Amino acid sequence: MPTEIDTARLRLRHWRAADREPFAALNADPTGMEFFPALLSRAESDALASRCEGLIAERGWGLWAVETKNGREFLGFVGLHRTAPELPFSPGIEISWRLAARHWGNGYATEAACAGLRVGFTQLHFPEIVAFTAVGNSTSRAVMERIGMRHTGEFFEHPKVPVSSSLRTHCLYPTTREQWEATDT
Ligand SMILES: CC(C)(COP(=O)(O)OP(=O)(O)OC[C@H]1O[C@@H](n2cnc3c(N)ncnc32)[C@H](O)[C@@H]1OP(=O)(O)O)[C@@H](O)C(=O)NCCC(=O)NCCS
């Protein structure tokens, strides 16, 4: 069972108490949270970190805290999660990422997500992994495409986003293990 993952520049690891402060700053940053319906308060951010921490402790995988190996700076999270039951394609496994804005533009999300996808298919043996985001989130969609996921034309209305919100329509990028094997180099 994977509990931590190393890439060339990054470590996907267990959460630490020291991550809480930079994670709260990330979740309170309007730039980083542009495609989410609301910013998170410190309490909400801590609760999310606790959930991530608890699930990794329980399963050995989840939404890992990501840090640089050179400098050990906390960047955000990247990892795998069981899709919420209310989503139209559940049950399933999603891959997800959220990095602090000042660390964008370095290829870190792609590097970490590549490793997460590999672990999901080769060690955890999930038959399919999905990614999804608000249709306008082009940077996140670019990560999906860089790691070999493809938009199959499926859209859905996210049940947790208010009906009046322009962020409600999401695009779905489902990828089977066979499709990933065919694109992985
Ligand atoms: C989505 C998100 C993770 C993307 O971050 P990102 O830094 O753009 O993505 P990557 O890590 O793949 O980096 C790619 C960029 O780094 C550049 N880059 C620089 N050095 C690089 C390197 N050594 N290797 C690869 N890419 C590199 C690439 O050229 C690319 O730049 P470009 O977009 O100008 O072409 C980030 O915007 C984010 O956290 N957003 C908020 C949370 C969110 O929306 N999550 C998704 C919700 S479902």
Question: What domains lie within the chain, and their CATH numbers?
Answer: 5-183 (3.40.630.30)
What are 77-128's pLDDT values in tens digits?
A: 999 999 999 999 999 999 999 999 999 999 999 999 999 999 999 999 999 9
Site to probe by mutation for ligand 1, drawn from 33, 143, 160, 170 as the one with most ligand atoms within 8 Å of Cβ, is: 143
- Closest ligand 1 atom to 97 CA: 45
**Å from CA of 76 to ligand 1 middle:** 13
* Residue of minimum CA distance from atom 24 in ligand 1: 107
* Cα distances (Å, whole numbers) of residue 38 to 20, 85, 128, 141: 18, 21, 29, 20
Residues 64 and 79 sit within 8 Å (Cβ to Cβ): yes
Percent of the chain at pLDDT > 90 equals: 96
Q: Are 12 and 112 a contacting pair, CB within 8 Å?
A: yes
The alpha carbon of 53 and the centre of ligand 1 are apart by a number of angstroms equal to: 24
> How far apart, in Å, are the Cα atoms of 140 and each of 14, 52, 179?
23, 20, 20
Q: Residues 146-179: pLDDT tens digits?
A: 999 999 899 999 999 999 999 999 999 999 999 9
Distances (CA, A) of 23 to 35, 49, 99, 108: 17, 8, 9, 16
pLDDT at 185: 60
Structure tokens at 105: 């533009």
Give the model's pLDDT for residue 2: 72
How many percent of the chain have pLDDT more than 70?
98
Within 6 A (CB) of ligand 1 lie 32, 35, 96-99, 104-110, 133, 137, 139-140, 143, 146
Between the alpha carbon of residue 21 and those of residues 14, 46, 71, 73, 151, the distances in Å are: 15, 9, 17, 12, 35
Partners of residue 76 on adjacent β-strands: 66, 99
Express each pLDDT in 40-88 by its tens digit.
999 999 999 999 999 999 999 999 999 999 989 999 999 999 999 999 9
- Predicted TM-score of the model (pTM): 0.96
**What spacing in Å lies between the alpha carbon of 143 and ligand 1's midpoint?**
7
Distance 140 CA to ligand 1 centre (A): 7
If you take atom 2 of ligand 1, which residue's CA is the nearest one?
140
Over residues 127-132, the mean pLDDT reads 98
